[in-house]
Structure 1
Amino acid sequence: MSNKLDLKALTALVIGSMIGAGVFSLPQNMAAVASPAAVTLGWLITGFGMICLALTFQELTLSKPEVQGGVFGYAQAGFGDLCGFFSSWGYWLSAAVANVSYLVIVFSTLGLFFDTPTFKLFGDGNTLLSVALSSVLIWLVHTLVLRGVQTAAIVNYVTTIAKLIPIIVFIIATFIAFKWDTFTFDFTGVNIANEPSLFDQIKQTMLITVWVFIGIEGAVVVSSRAKNTKDVGRATILGLLICLFLYVSVTLLSMGVVSTPELAKLQNPSAAKILETLIGEIGAAIIGIGLIISVSGAYLSWTLLATETPYTAAKIGMFPKIFAETNQNGTPTYSLWLTSCAVQLCLILMFMIGGGYDDLLTIASEMILVPYLLVAAYLMKLSFSELDTFKVKAIAFLATVYGIWLLYASGIHHLLLATLLYLPGLAFYINAMQESGKPGFNMRNKILLGVIIFASVYGVYLVAEGVKL
């Protein structure tokens, strides 16, 4: 069976990576921090920034097809082996840790259907039964991916279609029930005492929208498996536009059905309560089932992306060579085992410590934003040499500024703490450099390593001083 992916499979991977559980909670999340005017402006700014980032990926896939490794290859080509390694390590680790959150959400959602006030089977997704069934799911997906990337991509394509159905039902129902007077009531949110300014509201919305587009790089990560290199950029743009339409529709249409203050008080997933109000109890069931399918599909997408990361990094000499080995189905076996074991370990640790996972998830998620900035910075670097055109310069500048904004909006102290998670990966890097015969730490790499160590120490200091995560 061919392991090459066509435009449909690549687009499904992008959409499947971006759409998880967040879309079903967006109405309440947004209403809790901003007015309809601020939400509208926030989406415009975020949409523009993400389009610039998507165009950056497209420009690089077309202009630098010889650069292998996608996101991490661009970091290596632009800024050296150690920077490329940190980009790939951070991306892989954050994807593995984030996958644990998908498992937690799946079984906490099942708790809505099966738990009672006096008897909790699934709880918040952290009961012994939830952890046991989550472990079963980890190894079921592991077995599926072992059958080949193409097989997993087909399943991902089906789950992506399935997860879009309840979202489209929600959009149609809220569109029919939409009332302009409800939407424009206290449109700016600044007429009430002690309410934040419009600018502050916009900033708060963008703190939320930072995360709903994580996964836009899905097609780029698996670019080596694309049937047509041009499809990588097309899938990235197409997937982004589809998700942007869905996110904006779900958020703004909800504000025309339920007033913003009432929307802010709803329990999440807030989309379930809204649809239940419109079409009855079946509405809550549609969203609940849709959420489980959506998150399960996202777990599969991110398992594919996480598995592909050490594999592609090993092929360009940033990870030990063993991770580039594949089975008869073309699946990078050792990379998959590394990923599945990492997810299983995080799941067990979460159960044992009984808390602290949210902070780890936030810190690890921050690491996934660094490769975005490095990709934009690489295009910026090229725009002053071989790609010296106004179009490329404009795209690179806007994408770089937006990449810096993403890191700032998500919390600089989280980024400082995230540098701690880079250090264990140095063992992989040193081994890879020894295999290739390259010097692991030239002067530039020593400076970068020094910056990483200093940042991690300062991050620990901030925590010790009581800085809230």
Structure 2
Amino acid sequence: MSRLQLTAMVVGGMVGAGIFSLPQTFANATGPIGAAIAWLVAGVGMYTLARVFQALAERKPKLDAGVFVYAKEGFGDYPGFLSAFGYWIGSCIGNVSYWVLIKSTLGAFFPIFGDGNTLPAILVASVGIWLFHFLILRGVKQAAFINTVVTFAKVIPIIAFVIMLFFVFKIDTFRLNISSAAESGGLIQQIRATMLVTVFVFIGIEGASVYSRYAKERADVGYATILGFCSVTALMVLVSMLPFAVLPREEIAAMRQPSMAAVLESVVGPWGAVFVSLGLIVSVLGAYLAWSLICAEVMFAAARNQDMPSVFARENANQVPANALWITNIVVQILVASTYFSRDAFALMLNLTSSMSLIPYLFVAAYGWLVSRRGESYEIRPEERSRDITFASIAVIYTVFMIIAGGLRYLLLSAILYAPGTVLYVMARREQGLTVFSGIRDWTLFLVAVAGAVVGVAALAGGLIAL
């Protein structure tokens, strides 16, 4: 894969469902001041994480399996498995959110689709899941080329949205929204309400790292990560902030998703909603393609590194990890069907995806800190060591803060997935004739996951946690 294709994997992964939901999500939680602070916190935190990915790509070139391999290298086999499983299942949940938003978008024109979780909506999504499945089975390179083309196509309506809102920018409206937010609650609580959303829209910065084994030049992985991150961050900040200078905050907060379409409709008329809706469908389908590739690659790479059952390490004649792709899409299909029972399927999938992704991100940041602290691979350019320690330290603090800010609800829901997922690890260890848990650390992690799962199931049964 070329530098352009790797960058497209980053942009394609980041620009998906989340960016089209930002106006309503932010307006519902906070105003311009809170949004600016939230983006500053998230931007700095995710930038340092991107720099950790860049540094590890350059200094640990042999670790080319993506996110989870850093956890395994730094902390052991079971933490490596938890990172791989968490990232994989989180990505599957993220793919479900794409289908929910597509169906919700169509629901604005065809009421039969409702908010994306009606029976007809689930049936249409199911057809889409398996069409993409068989497309990817034809070959990763072909799918990566399609993703590059789609990435350019889906950025165009977002840029058009930003330009149009600049032309109708009203400073008085912006000031009124600042006052309105100040009267509706504490600033800290407002910022906290946006935290998991900012994580969700940043997920994908590791897209180039996941596919590093395909890179023509190893240095392109770090370049693509930083370029993709900076480009998409600029777009996301503008998409969430500019509506505050066009419409009252309360009006934006009451809009249905995708709120970008409703904002543009209020500015230019009905054609604006159609324009953004078409852009969203292209964008989300492109992001779904990118993440389907990433999901299968993560499962395949974990199996190749003996952290998952070997059956998932098999490729078809087109060099596609077919078995990994099959299990991925079966899980996505089950999750799509489960949205029928959810009151707000999109918000649930968005926040749960973020929560599941934070554990793997924490392992990456912590491993980056260990590498720089120990001075590993700093024989070349040793002057970069103090800089890398600083970036990794901030990234660790940020990911821990985000896990806490996300709240107990999503930690417990995550544990419900992590605990039974350990069955895959047990199968892989038995295939190799190895002891399942090697030491107090592994047992402690497993027991914490089981305890969290038990509490989570009890909370669900008792109605303390609602889906």
Q: Name the TM-score, length of structure 2 as normaliser.
A: 0.92
Aligned length: 457
What is the rounded CA distance, in whole Å, between the counterparts of 1:180 and 1:9 in structure 2? 40
Contact 1:217–1:236 (8 Å) recurs in 2:
yes
CA contact (8 A) 1:271 1:287 kept: yes
Separation of aligned partners in 2, 1:229 and 1:60: 11
1:337 and 2:333 matched: no
Residue 426 of structure 1 corresponds to: 422
Partner of 1:298 in structure 2? Answer: 287
Say whether residues 1:155 and 2:146 are aligned partners. Answer: yes
Matches within 5 A, 1:127-146: 127-146=118-137
Question: Per the alignment, do residues 215 and 445 of structure 1 end up closer, same or farther by CA in structure 2, a change over 3 Å counting?
Answer: same
* 1:41 corresponds to 2:37: yes
* Correspondences of 1:59-208 after superposition (within 5 Å): 59-115=55-111, 120=112, 122-185=113-176, 187=178, 189=180, 192=183, 195-208=184-197
Task: Determine whether 1:377 maps to 2:366.
Answer: yes
Instruction: Determine the structure 1 residue equivalent to 2:313.
Output: 324
- Report the CA distance between 1:461 and its aligned residue: 4.7
Shift in Å, 1:365: 4.2
Are 2:451 and 1:454 aligned?
A: yes
Query: How far did 1:164 drift?
Result: 0.8
Q: Deviations over 1:364-409 (max 9, x none)?
A: 5421111000100111222321248311210111000011112112
1:445 aligns with 2:442: yes
**Percent identity over the alignment?**
43
| 1:47-70 superposed Cα distances (whole Å, 9 cap, x missing partner) | 111100100100111111122422
CA distance in 1, matches of 2:197, 2:190: 11
CA 1:283–1:57 in structure 2 vs 1: closer, same or farther (change >3 Å)? same
Amino acid at match of 2:124: L
Separation in 2, partners of 1:207, 1:350: 20
Residues 36 and 204 of structure 1: is their aligned pair in 2 closer, same or farther, counting only changes over 3 Å?
A: same
Provide the rounded CA distance (Å) in 2 between the counterparts of 1:64 and 1:315. Answer: 18
Tell me if structure 2 keeps the 8 A contact 1:366–1:414.
yes
Quickly say closer, same or farther: Cα 1:364–1:183, change in 2 above 3 A: closer
Residues 186, 348 of structure 1: CA spacing in aligned structure 2 closer, same or farther, 3 A cutoff? closer
Residues 446 and 200 from structure 1, CA distance in 2 versus in 1: closer, same or farther, beyond 3 angstroms? closer
Q: Deviations over 1:66-110 (max 9, x none)?
A: 224221000100111111111111111122222222222222222
Which residue matches 1:220? 209
Give the Cα–Cα distance (whole angstroms) in 1 for the partners of residues 196 and 102 of structure 2. 24
Q: Look up the SS of the partner of 2:29 in the other structure.
A: coil
Q: Retained in 2: the 8 A contact 1:416–1:456?
A: yes
Q: Give the superposition deviation at 1:184.
A: 2.4
Cα deviation for residue 341 of structure 1 reads 1.5
Amino acid at match of 1:108: S
Letter in 1 for 2:274: A
Q: CA deviation at 1:231?
A: 1.4
Q: How far is 1:284 from its partner? A: 1.1
Tell me if structure 1 keeps the 8 A contact 2:105–2:257: no
**In 2, Cα distance between equivalents of 1:275 and 1:173:** 8
Displacement after TM superposition at 1:285 (Å):
0.8
Q: Which stretch has the larger CA shift, 312-321 or 103-112?
A: 103-112
The SS at the match of 2:373 is: coil
Unaligned 5+ segments in structure 1 are: none
Q: Tell me if the contact between 1:52 and 1:399 (Cα under 8 Å) persists in the aligned partners.
A: yes
Name the CA shift for 1:88/1:266 in 2 (closer, same or farther; >3 Å).
Answer: same
DSSP-derived class of the 2:194 partner:
helix
Q: Which runs of 5+ in 2 are unaligned?
A: 379-384
Q: Does the CA contact (< 8 Å) of 1:38 and 1:188 recur in 2?
A: no
